[in-house]
Amino acid sequence: MLMFAVIVASSGLLLMIERGILAEMKPLPLHPSNREGAAWRGTARRPGGLTLDAGDSDLQVRQDIRNRTLRAVCGQPGMPRDPWDLPVGQRRTLLRHILVSDRYHFLYCYVPKVACSNWKRVLKVLAGVLDSVDVRLKMDHRNDLVFLADLRPEEIRYRLQHYFKFLFVRDPLERLLSAYRNKFGEIREYQQRYGAEIVRRYRAGAGPSPAGDDVTFPEFLRYLVDEDPERMNEHWMPVYHLCQPCAVRYDFVGSYERLEADANQVLEWVQAPPHVRFPARQAWYRPASQESLHYHLCSAPRSLLQDLLPKYILDFSLFAYPLPNVTREACHQ
């Protein structure tokens, strides 16, 4: 019943966002009032607290919308208010995805396919492990990094209470397309582990031992429809389950769509050294575009999308992303 109510409320809010209604409302403070006394705001390291550039109306509106939706959805009865309200498995997933910088007093919840490799590179530079964010070594996603899961409960609680907390998000379906293109188009391990199973399940006459290197996007979506979101691979697990934004009160939610600006703003807030800037995208890198996403979605059965969207509805609503328009008219434009 609770999830039904959340979905209904979220869908209505998304419609308001798409029509620009929320942008006309008076903006709320970036932080709810019960967080204004958080310890990090009063320290000498951040004397002015977290402030937004008054001229950046797009960022302000987006943060206002996200704060409103987070408070509305997370205020529902039964929603977690603390990581220790979560079942053990959900809490384990959360703590394994929050990276710690004790030197700069921040926590970062990493989301795969939302520039998390570059953020891990930044953390290693801040920790003195790498000399520069421009060092192009193959990223080791575990060594020389500290996760909340590595700490004792009292250490976790202290950092959650006192450190600056942030994450970065992306259009949910664009993130899925990016994961599909990367993992099934380039990574043999994923082709063998997931691709072969997907082909066996969803392709007639596939045979017992498919290579798994030719998974179609609709086959991938069918696989996601049948998966339990809490048990998904992290590259396509909903952000809600990875970072639990109701159980953890994040101070900032950045956007992939304005990645470099938002990331460098965070580095300024945590008082990183001036020479540490977020890495620019490589010239050869071509992220999944809205045009490519539109093409792939229009090529998939609409009934399949209807079955898929409820699994990601909280990612759409909490982070102010519009639902895709896959009407016949839109797909034939």
pLDDT at 55: 53
pLDDT at 205: 85
pLDDT at 201: 94
With a cut of 70, which residues of the chain have pLDDT below it? 1-56, 137-140, 282-285
pTM over 0.85: no
Q: pLDDT for 71-92, tens place per residue?
A: 888 999 999 999 999 999 999 9
User: For the chain, what is the HEC assignment?
Assistant: CHHHHHHHHHHHHHHHHHCCCHHHCCCCCCCCHHHCCCHHHHCCCCCCCCCCCCCCHHHHHHHHHHHHHHHHHHCCCCCCCCHHHCCHHHHHHHHHCEEEECCCCEEEECCCCCCHHHHHHHHHHHCCCCCCCCCCCCCCCCCCCCEHHHCCHHHHHHHHHHCEEEEEECCHHHHHHHHHHHHHHHCHHHHHHHHHHHHHHHCCCCCCCCCCCCCCHHHHHHHHHHCCHHHCCCCCCCHHHHHCCCCCCCCEEEEHHHHHHHHHHHHHHCCCCCCCCCCCCCCCCCCCCHHHHHHHHHCCCHHHHHHHHHHHHHHHHHCCCCCCCCCHHHHCC
Q: pLDDT for 140-162, tens place per residue?
A: 677 889 999 999 999 999 999 99
pLDDT at 236: 98
pLDDT at 285: 66
pLDDT at 30: 32
pLDDT at 59: 73
